Chain A
Amino acid sequence: MLSVISYPLFAISVIFSLVLSISLFPADWFEFRPEWLGLLVFYWTFRAPAQFGVIMAWCLGLLLDILESTPLGVNAMGMALIAFLVLTIHQRLRMYPLPQQCLMVFLLLGINQMLVHFVKQLVGAESSGFSYLWPALTSALVWPLISSVLDHINRKLG
């Protein structure tokens, strides 16, 4: 879809999403905070499958692990899985209308959250119900905004 992508934008958007995932969100609503980095991995693998893939996503996930203080590798694995799934479906994904894309975002980030949650429980975190899926839902809701803003800037710079 995009013939040219902008690497500076990639770097800036990643830093910004890392910042967003530790702050700038009302503390009482932390449960509902979108999975910013997951969204970014989704976006960049979707738009530039040749340049960004599993390995890059894994590295970004590692940074999130440090910020969230989860065991190293948990989020990294989740992000790699998102990238992998996007790579397998990105050709169909382009044909989908926006609502259906949102649904895919919800599904993929939901799978990511489940995997992360599962591993966290394996290493001994406590949990409650299905509330860990909220970030997937809120991410799906902000997806149209994120993708259109990033597309816009990409076209300007690219």
Chain B
Amino acid sequence: MIPWEDLTIKTIFVQGPVPGFRLFLVILVSAALIAADARFEKLSLVRSSIATGLAPVYWLGNAPSRFGDWFGGLFVSRDDLQQENEELKTRMLILERRALKYAALASENNELRRLLNSAEVLDDRVIVGEVVGISPDPYSHEIIINKGQSDGVTVGQAVLDAEGLMGQVVQTSQFTSRVLLVSDSSHAVPVEVIRNGLRAILLGSGETDELDLVYVPDTADIREGDILVSSGLGGRFPRGYPVAEISEITKESGEPFVTIRTTPKARLNQSRMVLVVFQPESRREDSVPEPLITDEEAR
């Protein structure tokens, strides 16, 4: 240790012994934390409480784009607004008509299901969330949304945008949650082809515009342009939401499976509004207790 008198003179070189011991200590603690977190997943409570404390950071990160929206809103002319209003009204009429038809179909479907003694109800409740951040790690495809435990969001819920399935909630804090996108390389969704019900597994590829359909036999009836919807097997994702469209099929002679590339339906890197799906309790209980495909397993 440097005597106190020396400190007063050499103010530029104020420093005790090189803090090697502290570094050693800190590395030990870090190693313990990493092991506890990555191998045993004991720290989700710590994580979610600190994340709740960091809510202002998420809020600030999203503030510029919100300010931009507000600022843009100040300079919209009346004509533009009127025109937009007209367009929206027209669109609403079209959608309303479709919804009417859908309501009739849904009630008919429920009736038929009741006749078949099936307890399944065809209505998923959703809440609308906004994307407030994306994962800083370029190799993981995750987004952060502004709905959390206080809105009833729990780990494992499916997240959609207007076009299709986006991913699932993997972590929640009080006011935000973290969503793993279907394009993440550790993510898998059980899907079926809408045309003939052929089941397969859709893996993320690490690219936002591409998903890989795996283990499809050479002889399977599958074509380019087919739409894949979530099959609901595995109990994690609700059934029937569009996930991807097949864009390219490559058959190689000698290989047991075909290579199939698909394009996700959801606009994974553009959507700002997302829907978090709450599955009805009855269906939760009916589902397989242990989800077949979870991200942990795929990892």
Chain A residues in contact with chain B, CB under 8 A?
A: 1, 3, 15, 18-19, 21-24, 27, 30-31, 33, 49-50, 53-55, 58, 62-63, 66-74, 76-77, 80-81, 84, 87-88, 90-91, 94, 119, 123-128
Residues of B within 8 A of A128 (CB): 139
Q: Is the CB of B33 within 8 A of A22?
A: no
Q: Which B residues between 129 and 175 are near A, CB-CB below 8 angstroms? A: 133-140, 142, 144, 171
For the complex, what is the distance from the CA of A1 to the CA of B34, rounded to whole Å?
A: 37
Residues of A within 8 A of B137 (CB): 68-70
The 8 closest A-B pairs by CB, nearest first: A73-B33, A23-B61, A77-B30, A73-B30, A123-B38, A71-B38, A71-B37, A73-B34
Q: Is the CB of B22 within 8 A of A55?
A: yes
Residues of B within 8 A of A77 (CB): 26-27, 30-31, 34
B252-284 near A? 1/0 per residue, CB < 8 Å: 000000000000000001000000000000000
B173-205 near A? 1/0 per residue, CB < 8 Å: 000001000000100000000000000000000
Among A31, A33, A80, A88, max chain B CB count under 10 A is at A80
Q: A3-B11, A22-B57, A22-B58 are in contact. Are A54 and B33 (CB under 8 A)?
A: no
Q: Is the CB of B135 within 8 A of A54?
A: no
Is B74 an interface residue, CB under 8 A from the partner?
A: no
Q: Which of B18, B34, B136 contacts A88 (CB 8 A)?
A: B18
Q: List 21 A-B contacts (CB under 8 A).
A: A15-B56, A19-B61, A22-B58, A23-B133, A27-B134, A30-B134, A53-B22, A54-B23, A66-B50, A66-B51, A68-B135, A68-B136, A72-B43, A73-B30, A77-B30, A80-B26, A80-B30, A81-B23, A91-B13, A126-B139, A126-B206
The interface residues of chain A, by DSSP majority, are classed as: helix
Q: Is the CB of B60 within 8 A of A66?
A: no
Chain B residues in contact with chain A, CB under 8 A?
A: 11-15, 18-20, 22-23, 26-27, 29-34, 36-39, 43, 46-47, 50-51, 54, 56-58, 60-62, 64, 133-140, 142, 144, 171, 178, 185, 206, 269, 299
**In the assembled complex, how far is the CB of residue B121 from the closest CB belonging to chain A, in whole angstroms?**
34
Q: Is the CB of A24 within 8 A of B18?
A: no
Q: Is the CB of A54 within 8 A of B19?
A: yes
Q: A73-B34, A77-B26 are in contact. Are A21 and B134 (CB under 8 A)?
A: no
Residues of B within 8 A of A66 (CB): 47, 50-51, 54
Q: Is the CB of B57 within 8 A of A19?
A: yes
Q: Is the CB of A123 within 8 A of B34?
A: yes
**In the assembled complex, how far is the CB of residue B65 from the closest CB belonging to chain A, in whole angstroms?**
8
Residues of A within 8 A of B299 (CB): 124
Q: Is the CB of A71 within 8 A of B34?
A: yes
For the complex, what is the distance from the CA of A94 to the CA of B12, rounded to whole Å?
A: 10
Extra pairs beyond A31-B138, A77-B30 (16, CB < 8 Å): A19-B61, A22-B61, A22-B134, A54-B26, A58-B29, A63-B50, A66-B54, A67-B136, A71-B38, A73-B33, A81-B23, A84-B22, A88-B18, A123-B38, A126-B139, A127-B139
Q: A54-B22, A54-B26, A63-B50 are in contact. Are A74 and B34 (CB under 8 A)?
A: yes
Q: A19-B61, A21-B136, A88-B18 are in contact. Are A73 and B54 (CB under 8 A)?
A: no
Residues of B within 8 A of A76 (CB): 26, 30, 33
Residues of B within 8 A of A94 (CB): 12
Q: A19-B61, A66-B50, A73-B30 are in contact. Are A87 and B136 (CB under 8 A)?
A: no
For the complex, what is the distance from the CA of A21 to the CA of B54, rounded to whole Å?
A: 13
